[in-house]
Amino acid sequence: MTALFGVFLLTLLVITAVAIVKTTNLFVAVMLLGIFSLLIAANFFILDAADVAMTEAAVGAGISTVLFLGALALISERERAATPHRTLSLVVVVRATLVFLYATFDKPTFGDINAPVHQHVAPWYLEKTPEYIDIPNVVTAVLGSYRGYDTLGEVFVVFTAGIGVLFLLSARRGRRKDEDQPLLPDGPAIGLRENLIPRVVGRLLVPFILLFGLYVQFHGEYGPGGGFQAGALIAAAFILYALVEGESRTLAALPESALIGLTVAGALLYGAVGLAGIVLGSEFLNYSVLAADPVTGQQAGIILIEAGVGMTVTGVLLSIFHAFAAREQV
pLDDT of 4 > 70? The answer is yes
**Domain locations in the chain?**
121-330
pLDDT at 277: 92
Q: 327 φ, ψ to 5°?
A: -80, 150
pLDDT over 70 at 172, yes or no: no
User: Do 60 and 40 touch, CB atoms closer than 8 A?
Assistant: yes
pLDDT tens for 12-34 read 999 999 999 888 888 889 889 99
Higher pLDDT: 87 or 158? It is: 158
Query: How far apart, in Å, are the Cα atoms of 43 and each of 55, 57, 223?
Result: 13, 11, 19
Q: What are the strands, taking DSSP E only, across 88-129?
A: none
pLDDT tens-digit series, residues 183-220: 444 333 445 556 677 778 888 889 999 999 999 998 88
Q: What is the mean pLDDT of the chain?
A: 84
Does residue 71 surpass a pLDDT of 60? yes
